[in-house]
């Protein structure tokens, strides 16, 4: 049995839930591959992993994998994940979100989970569009681009998800693309092992909606654009701001040690028990 077949048999609900809902050429499959490989390399038990998702194309991911899986309401995945992690801290909680999911409807939950530094990993698949509902403008659709709700032109400025995560206080922030699959593997591995709130932004393509409406070509051509736009964090550190203007920095953007919520709460529990009375 080849390595990939072994992983498929071990981790996917391959005899239950396939074929999947995604378009041929979608980047979500590459993200799923990286997720499985990172989990396998670290050696987590399947029982200790909880995969939580919101709504959208990315929200459908957990159903295909053999973990404890939870598909929640739009934008709220992180809130459910917070309850799971705090109630059973030994579980490894991974949240899967899309760009609309994480920073439009779920933006408030996202920044507060980062601020609290709850030990979990947020994987955010950013494809610049609401894909499942048919290609509407999202908070990461770049200025001037088209969608089915901005047919004349998008006049809004877009969010930079990784920068938002850094500002909100996430302990680990990494950005990768589905073109750079190996980097994605290592970013996820680092994020999963990080104590605290870790974020991996995964730049992907929606050739079906965003690509078609903006004449950006096929899935392969859009992945080549990811390759051309990307600059590693190491290289970017040596570049001038004007050189970085149209570039996208990939790699580990932030990795810092911060007090983790659960550790702090355990101290509160100890203190509370010392205080007499009800």
Partner 1 sequence: MLLQGNEAVAEGALRAGCRFFAGYPITPATEISEVLSVRLPKTDGTFIQMEDEIASLGAVIGASLTGVKSMTATSGPGFSLMQENLGLAIIAEVPCVIVNVMRGGPSTGLPTFPAQGDVMQARWGTHGDHPIIVLSASTVRECYDMTIQAFNLSEKFRTPVVLLIDEVVGHMREKMALDDEEKIEIINRVRPTMPPEWYIPYEDTPSGVSPMANFGEGYRYHVTGLTHDVRGFPTSRPDEIGPFISRLHRKISSHFSEIQIAEFFKTEDAEITIVAYGCVARSAKRAVIEAREKGLKVGLLKLSTLWPFMRTAVEKALQTSKILIVPEMNMGQISREVKRVNRGVARVITLNKVDGTIITPMEILNRIQEVVS
Which residues sit at the interface with partner 1, rule CB under 8 A? 16-17, 46-48, 50, 52, 62-63, 66-73, 76, 79-88, 90-91, 108-109, 112, 265, 268-269, 271-273, 275, 278
Nearer to partner 1, 110 or 179 (CB): 110
Nearer to partner 1, 17 or 235 (CB): 17
Nearest distance, CB of residue 67 and partner 1, angstroms: 6
Spell out the alpha helix ranges (H) of 93-244.
99-100, 107-116, 161-168, 181-193, 212-213, 219-229, 233-236
Angle between helices 77-87 and 261-274 (to 10 degrees): 50
Nearer to partner 1, 32 or 249 (CB): 32
Nearest distance, CB of residue 198 and partner 1, angstroms: 18
Nearest distance, CB of residue 275 and partner 1, angstroms: 8
Nearer to partner 1, 90 or 215 (CB): 90
Burial of 238 (0-12, 13-18, 19+ CB in 10 A): exposed
Nearer to partner 1, 88 or 256 (CB): 88
Nearest distance, CB of residue 95 and partner 1, angstroms: 11
Nearest distance, CB of residue 131 and partner 1, angstroms: 17
Q: What is the DSSP letter of 153?
A: -
Nearest distance, CB of residue 21 and partner 1, angstroms: 9
Q: The dihedral of CA 76, 13, 10, 131: what is its sign? A: negative
Nearest distance, CB of residue 120 and partner 1, angstroms: 11
74 bridge partner residues: none
Nearer to partner 1, 85 or 205 (CB): 85
Residues 61-70: contacts with CB under 8 Å, at least 24 apart: 61/28, 61/31, 61/32, 61/96, 62/96, 63/13, 63/17, 64/12, 64/13, 64/17, 64/18, 64/20, 64/32, 65/11, 65/12, 65/13, 65/32, 65/35, 65/36, 66/10, 66/11, 66/12, 66/13, 67/11
Nearer to partner 1, 85 or 194 (CB): 85
**Helices first, then strands: H and E counts in the chain:** 11, 10
């Amino acid at each position: 049995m080849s390595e990939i077949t072994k992983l498929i048999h071990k981790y996917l609900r391959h005899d239950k839930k396939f074929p999947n809902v995604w378009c041929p050429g979608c980047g979500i499959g590459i993200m799923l591959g990286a997720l499985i490989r990172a989990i396998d390399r670290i050696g987590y038990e399947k029982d200790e992993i909880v995969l939580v998702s919101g709504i959208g194309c990315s929200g459908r991911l957990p159903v295909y994998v053999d973990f404890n899986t939870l598909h929640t309401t739009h934008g709220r995945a992180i809130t459910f994940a917070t309850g799971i992690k705090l109630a059973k801290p030994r579980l490894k909680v991974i949240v899967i979100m899309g760009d609309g999911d994480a920073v439009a409807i779920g933006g408030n939950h996202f920044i507060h989970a980062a601020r609290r530094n709850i030990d979990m990993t947020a994987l955010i698949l950013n494809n610049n569009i609401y894909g499942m509902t048919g290609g509407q403008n999202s908070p990461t659709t770049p200025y001037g681009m088209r969608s089915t709700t901005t047919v004349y032109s998008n006049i809004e400025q877009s969010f930079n998800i990784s920068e938002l995560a850094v500002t909100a206080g996430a302990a680990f922030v990494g950005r990768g693309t589905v073109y750079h699959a190996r980097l994605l593997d290592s970013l996820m591995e680092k994020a999963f092992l990080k104590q605290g709130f870790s974020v991996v932004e995964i730049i992907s393509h929606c050739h079906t909606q965003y690509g078609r409406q903006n004449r950006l070509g096929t899935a392969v051509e859009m992945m080549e654009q990811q390759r051309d736009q990307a600059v590693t964090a190491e290289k970017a550190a040596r570049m001038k701001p004007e050189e970085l203007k149209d570039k996208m920095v990939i790699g580990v953007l932030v990795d810092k040690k911060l007090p983790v919520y659960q550790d702090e709460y355990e101290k509160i529990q100890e203190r509370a028990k010392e205080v007499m009375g009800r």
